[in-house]
Chain A
Amino acid sequence: MAIMLSELENDKQRHKLNWLFFRRALMLAKPYWTRKGAWKSWLVVVFICLMIAGFSWANAYVVKLTGEVTDALVDKKSSLYWSLFTWSTLFGVIIFGARVIQSLVGALLSLHWWRWLTEYLIGNYLYRQTYFHILQDEKIDNPDQRIEEEVGPVCDIIGAFPLQVLGSISNMGVQTSIMVSISSSLFFCVIGFSIFQSLAIYLMNQPIIKQQFDITVAEADLRYGITYVRNNAENIAFYRGEETETNNISARMKNVVKKQMRNMIYSIYLNLMNDGVGVVWNYLPLIVLVPMYFNGEISYGTIAQATASATLLVDSLTVLSSYIPQLSQAVPHMVRVAEIHEAFLKLKSNQQDPDNHIVLKQSDTIQLKDVNLKTPKGEQSLVNQLNLQLNRDCRLIIVGRSGVGKSSLLRAIAGLWSNGTGTISLPMEENTCLFLPQRPYTFEGDLRSQLYYPAEKSPVNDDELKKLLNKVCLEDLLTRHGSLDTVKDWPHTLSLGEQQRIAFLRVLLLKARYVFLDESTSAVDLPTEKALYKLLETTGSAWISVGHRPSLLPFHNQAMHLQKGGQWTIRSIEELAEHEDDI
């Protein structure tokens, strides 16, 4: 069985630590750091930088102290030793206090940024129909996982960069001057080896990026597979498809294992190199300085001092160069987050190919002119040269065989599908057109919010809502489920018929100029259907239905018959009633 996994684009560019990466980092960092209240964040950053500078100075001081303390110890100068020891302990405590403050402030800033960026991305994802187009294109896998999991690492890595780099550079400056004063040959050795180490680390980390990427996607796919079972529990239970589903999940798990193994094997080499290098660093100063000591040029304390200084210098260099593996681990995260942002930017700027794109225009009534509609990937032609005028009082029903493209025509009018040519003019202001899709939509939350969806709050008070519930034949809903505040898993609690009636309630609340009903009464019985359509009449809206049932015909004054290959004809209701088989 071949399971459906996210396709990984075989784009080499994505996996490199290159210019594109840094440009994306900038693009993602910019919004937060240039927002309205950004000066506060900048203030915090300045504060942290000052503290870092302070720590560098403190480190230099500690190095000097180390030399003195060691010399005192070797020379067995008790009183001097103990007073120096007390002082350095005290100093250590002060430094600790400062570090707590710095780390707290840093963590708060980081958290604030994380939240802001996640909210920003959610805004991008939900801007107009970005989420829909992202899903259609299928180039961006698991957007939910990206928003929830990847933003954190991105903030960490961008945030750490200036602080770590700054801290390291200032430390390096200070320690370098100390070391030069001790021994210039040691200094050159250290610098030479660091350059070699950084290069080696950079090269060895390149393959890791792609591996981390693959692992992230595999894990997200595994998660999605299990969630899918969860969301379709009843269907699977009815079908008794447990064995197949288990196989599916196992296959996804195997995929994760495969990707992890690759990474693990490569890591052996990486670890060997890192540890080996660490050992060299421990002995380097000794190799250079000990001969000098044996020759009597320097005291033992100086060795300790130089060792301490070299350690600090090396720490800084290590931080800097270990930043590279960290960066490379961050590349997948960065890419995955940036892709959502880029999709949003693309949609916003509306880059489309005019020759192959249906144009939407603002107008008071709905008009389709020379519309040719194809499926998004162009495989099928659904509608040919459609010319249709829908006035404010129209009541159209679209009929045709299953799969011929009726729902797709609605998608085109709603702006979801646009592969084709022609112009569709329609009112585009808020709430002028309401589309009721074929699958009714309810979600986890309180009952009240199901009723006024998609508005963000109810336009009428509770009593009005209750009256509307009665009108759409849902009187017993409140008695069965409590009150409008009751929170339940509505998609799994309400029957399909009840959800469809709620959809009609939404129509009554919204009072749109045009209402598009895609099989919106397929699960309600005939008397209810009649009542609901009668209610529609009271709203003064024009409506366009898609449906099969002959019972729908009396509510419309015009019909469009869509046939395979894109042919369409306008018929009168009487004509259609005679040829029932065509519906």
Chain B
Amino acid sequence: MPIETNQMNDERSYKLNRLLFRRLYDLSLPYWTRNEAWKSWLIVIMLLFSSAAIGIIGGYVSYLVADYTNALVDKNASIYWSLMIWTTFVVFMRILLSSVTGFFSSWIVLNWRQWMTEQITQSYMRNRTYYEIEQSKFIDNPDQRIQDEVANVCQTIVGLPQFVISSLTNIAVQASIILNVSTGLFWFILIYAIVNTFVTIWIYNPTIKLNWAVTVAKANMRTKLMAVRDHAETIAFYRGERSERLHLNQRLKDVMQAKLKLMFYNNINMSAVNEVLSLIFNLLPILFVVPLYLQGHISYGSIGQVTAAASTVLSGLSVISQLIPTATSVMPSAMRLAEIQEKSLALSQENTNTNRIHYIEGDHIELNQINAETPNGEQQLVKDLTMKILPGHHTVIVGQTGVGKSSLLRVISGLWNRGQGEVVLPHWRQLMFIPQQPYMHLADLRSQLLYPTPSNTGSFDDADIQEAFTLLGHPNFLAKHGGLDCIKDWRKVLSLGEQQLIAFTRIVLRKPRYVFLDEATSAMDVENEKHVYKVLKQLDITFVSVGHRETLLRFHNQKLHLLPDSKWQLTQQTTLFNAMH
């Protein structure tokens, strides 16, 4: 079953309140105040003018329609036909304007979406926010948020001003028509619109929570489906299909239930209320205007004109009530995006309180009185650990499984920093941490090897890469796998041992001063392992290994033995390495 998040219970998030608007504002500001923003502003202003123009032309057309209807009723053929032709022309112009407006509207939404996606992705990656989010699980499905919700937000916010402007224009134009005919009707409509607004707010509120429940349930199902995809071979080996199916169907059921609730609410409650409201506002004009006509005060053409005008005014005045469904649909999205931004900001502002390990830049690696805990503080990993790793002092970290060897690497790299003490280490560009599970990037082979340096920075050329492989004893690796430009799903194509080899190639290319290896040769045979360590030594890279194999010990001078109950033992050993070769 999926993990429940606290967010579902936070009532404050569901209301149409200041927090929402502030979040929308924070999300929108960067794009509209960036360097080239004047271009976007220009387009938006143009769009607003268009919308207003369309509204005004609409008003003009309604006068034309009234006139030619009157001509029709009065059987005035020539006037009728000339008016008809002119009206048709105006209508076509309006359509043209509409189309062009539509295009630019879509364009700006797309442009903004691209920009916002990049901006949020950067927030997501900055300060290791993505890592912290995975650790704490407070924010669910961040991937869905970035890919899905951004489009929604941009669409709504761009659409809104246009909508407001066109409505306001319509109101102004049409109100004048009504006022000419019946002031009573006009005031009645106004009162009615206000009532309508409040009713709409009341009725749309529950849909926010219902919509959100559906979004989260769907995202959870998708996550499970992606997990099956990512572990396909493993599951296939286990023949675990039936078990997976059980879990998936459970998640499907959750989605179904959320959708049902929403559907019932939409179909019964909402449509009933909407129908009653629209019935009233269709009837209202007729009730006012027809008696006037029957008594001979106005012409027949005016009836059509006024009824049309009345509905236009009503919908224009109900701008706010129309805003609400839009806002409710955008609210969960804005919130889900804002959460990522806010988390990123919070992480960058984190002050050093007493419960954090200090990291200082220095020449070599030193751990001083380190008391490290797991991020939630449940377990103590190590107590008062003090040691130095001078250049050339290769260290191996051993200990029982689960005692915290990988966790110690996390502490040294800064991923986990809860505790006390001081870590001195060189600038991160002079370090490399190779994690336990080999990491393959979704790209071509060249990017794979240059990782984490982006491949377009030009710091290494192809000859360097081939040389690295030759040095590591696998000169034919590139040829065997299709060359540097080959794009494949490397996790599936390469064996585990080959993936670990790639990690070493990355090291050889970057030549850091220190490298931390977490079981980085576990899938290599003993001969390969010996060779890669020899190469590291040749390149003057000091290595800190975590591992089990006895074969590892002989490459290192210093051994840190992590014991249960946060104890530890440091022993120096004369290296046997030189003796082997």
Provide the residues of chain B in CB contact with A276, threshold 8 Å: 92, 95
Provide the residues of chain B in CB contact with A241, threshold 8 Å: 439, 441, 451-452
Q: Say yes or no: B242 contacts A456, CB within 8 Å.
A: yes
Q: Say yes or no: A131 contacts B232, CB within 8 Å.
A: yes
Provide the residues of chain B in CB contact with A238, threshold 8 Å: 409, 413, 415, 433-435
Q: Say yes or no: A1 contacts B95, CB within 8 Å.
A: no
- A83-98 interface (Cβ within 8 A of B): 85, 89, 92-93, 96
Provide the residues of chain A in CB contact with B500, threshold 8 Å: 402
Interface string of A490-528 (1 = CB under 8 A from B): 001001111001000000000000000001001111101
State the main secondary structure of chain A at its contact with B.
helix
Q: Say yes or no: A294 contacts B439, CB within 8 Å.
A: no
CA distance A271 to B98 in the complex (A): 9
Q: Say yes or no: A444 contacts B238, CB within 8 Å.
A: no
- Number of A residues with CB within 8 Å of any CB on chain B: 140
Instruction: Select one of A136, A239, A444 contacting B435, CB under 8 A.
Output: A239
- B421-450 interface (Cβ within 8 A of A): 428, 432-437, 439, 441-444, 447
Task: Select the stretch in B18-26, B183-191, B383-391, B524-532 that faces chain A.
Answer: B524-532
Q: Say yes or no: B501 contacts A244, CB within 8 Å.
A: no
**What's the nearest-Cβ distance from chain A to residue B29, in Å?**
20
- A300 in the interface, Cβ–Cβ < 8 Å? yes
Instruction: Select one of B1, B88, B245, B523 contacting A446, CB under 8 A.
Output: B1
- B110 in the interface, Cβ–Cβ < 8 Å? yes
Q: Say yes or no: A525 contacts B548, CB within 8 Å.
A: yes
- B351 in the interface, Cβ–Cβ < 8 Å? no
**What's the nearest-Cβ distance from chain A to residue B198, in Å?**
23
- A455 in the interface, Cβ–Cβ < 8 Å? yes
| Given A229-B130, A230-B130, residue A435 in contact with residue B454 (CB < 8 A) | no
- B144 in the interface, Cβ–Cβ < 8 Å? yes
- B369-386 interface (Cβ within 8 A of A): 378-379
Interface string of B406-428 (1 = CB under 8 A from A): 10011001010000000000001
CA distance A453 to B300 in the complex (A): 78
Provide the residues of chain A in CB contact with B495, threshold 8 Å: 402-403, 407
- A215-269 interface (Cβ within 8 A of B): 219, 222-250, 253-254, 256-257, 260-261, 264-265, 267-268
**What's the nearest-Cβ distance from chain A to residue B6, in Å?**
14
- B147 in the interface, Cβ–Cβ < 8 Å? yes
- B538 in the interface, Cβ–Cβ < 8 Å? no
| Given A144-B225, A144-B228, A250-B118, residue A279 in contact with residue B92 (CB < 8 A) | yes
- B267 in the interface, Cβ–Cβ < 8 Å? yes
- A103 in the interface, Cβ–Cβ < 8 Å? yes
Provide the residues of chain B in CB contact with A572, threshold 8 Å: none
Q: Say yes or no: A230 contacts B245, CB within 8 Å.
A: no
Q: Say yes or no: A237 contacts B415, CB within 8 Å.
A: yes
Provide the residues of chain B in CB contact with A471, threshold 8 Å: none
- A575 in the interface, Cβ–Cβ < 8 Å? no
Q: Say yes or no: A1 contacts B456, CB within 8 Å.
A: yes
Provide the residues of chain A in CB contact with B121, threshold 8 Å: 226, 246, 249-250, 253
- A147 in the interface, Cβ–Cβ < 8 Å? yes
Residue of A246, A253, A265 with most chain B CB atoms under a 10 A cut-off: A253
Instruction: Select one of B96, B114, B230, B415 contacting A234, CB under 8 A.
Output: B415
> Which residue on chain A has the smallest CB distance to residue B433?
A238
Q: Say yes or no: A132 contacts B232, CB within 8 Å.
A: yes
> Which residue on chain A has the smallest CB distance to residue B498?
A403
| Given A4-B442, A131-B228, residue A495 in contact with residue B402 (CB < 8 A) | yes
Q: Say yes or no: A233 contacts B294, CB within 8 Å.
A: no
Instruction: Select one of A104, A128, A223, A524 contacting B241, CB under 8 A.
Output: A128
| Given A264-B110, A548-B524, residue A253 in contact with residue B117 (CB < 8 A) | yes
Provide the residues of chain B in CB contact with A224, threshold 8 Å: 226
Q: Say yes or no: A81 contacts B243, CB within 8 Å.
A: no
Provide the residues of chain B in CB contact with A290, threshold 8 Å: 72, 80
- A143 in the interface, Cβ–Cβ < 8 Å? yes
Provide the residues of chain B in CB contact with A476, threshold 8 Å: 402
Q: Say yes or no: A294 contacts B522, CB within 8 Å.
A: no
> Which residue on chain B has the smallest CB distance to residue A251?
B443
Q: Say yes or no: B130 contacts A148, CB within 8 Å.
A: no
Q: Say yes or no: A81 contacts B290, CB within 8 Å.
A: yes
CA distance A233 to B128 in the complex (A): 9
Q: Say yes or no: B110 contacts A437, CB within 8 Å.
A: no
CA distance A278 to B99 in the complex (A): 14
**What's the nearest-Cβ distance from chain A to residue B391, in Å?**
21
Instruction: Select one of A119, A228, A237 contacting B131, CB under 8 A.
Output: A237
| Given A4-B487, A143-B225, A240-B428, residue A73 in contact with residue B290 (CB < 8 A) | yes
Q: Say yes or no: A580 contacts B526, CB within 8 Å.
A: yes
Provide the residues of chain B in CB contact with A136, threshold 8 Å: 492
Interface string of B486-505 (1 = CB under 8 A from A): 01110010111110110000
Provide the residues of chain B in CB contact with A583, threshold 8 Å: 525-526
Provide the residues of chain B in CB contact with A85, threshold 8 Å: 286, 290
> Which residue on chain A has the smallest CB distance to residue B432?
A239
Instruction: Select one of A93, A222, A237 contacting B128, CB under 8 A.
Output: A237
- A293 in the interface, Cβ–Cβ < 8 Å? yes
- B323 in the interface, Cβ–Cβ < 8 Å? no
**What's the nearest-Cβ distance from chain A to residue B268, in Å?**
7
- B272 in the interface, Cβ–Cβ < 8 Å? yes
A–B Cβ pairs within 8 angstroms, 29 of them = A3-B443, A3-B487, A4-B442, A4-B488, A81-B294, A104-B268, A123-B245, A126-B241, A126-B242, A135-B232, A225-B442, A226-B146, A230-B143, A233-B134, A244-B447, A244-B451, A244-B452, A244-B454, A246-B122, A246-B125, A247-B456, A249-B117, A257-B114, A276-B95, A403-B495, A441-B240, A489-B3, A523-B548, A528-B400
Please name 11 further chain A to chain B contacts, defined as beta carbons within 8 Å, in addition to the given A414-B237, A444-B2, A523-B401, sorted by A numbering: A100-B272, A107-B263, A238-B409, A242-B126, A268-B102, A294-B75, A294-B77, A453-B240, A454-B238, A476-B402, A519-B496
Interface residues of A (CB under 8 A from B): 1-4, 73-74, 76, 78, 81, 85, 89, 92-93, 96, 100, 103-104, 107-108, 111, 115, 118-119, 122-123, 125-129, 131-132, 135-136, 138, 143-145, 147-148, 219, 222-250, 253-254, 256-257, 260-261, 264-265, 267-268, 271-272, 275-276, 279, 283, 286, 290, 293-294, 300, 303, 400-403, 407, 410-411, 414, 416, 434-439, 441, 443-446, 449, 453-456, 476, 480, 487-489, 492, 495-498, 501, 519, 522-526, 528, 548-549, 580-581, 583
Closest A-B pairs by Cβ, 9 of them? A402-B497, A497-B401, A454-B240, A241-B452, A144-B225, A235-B439, A226-B143, A435-B237, A238-B433
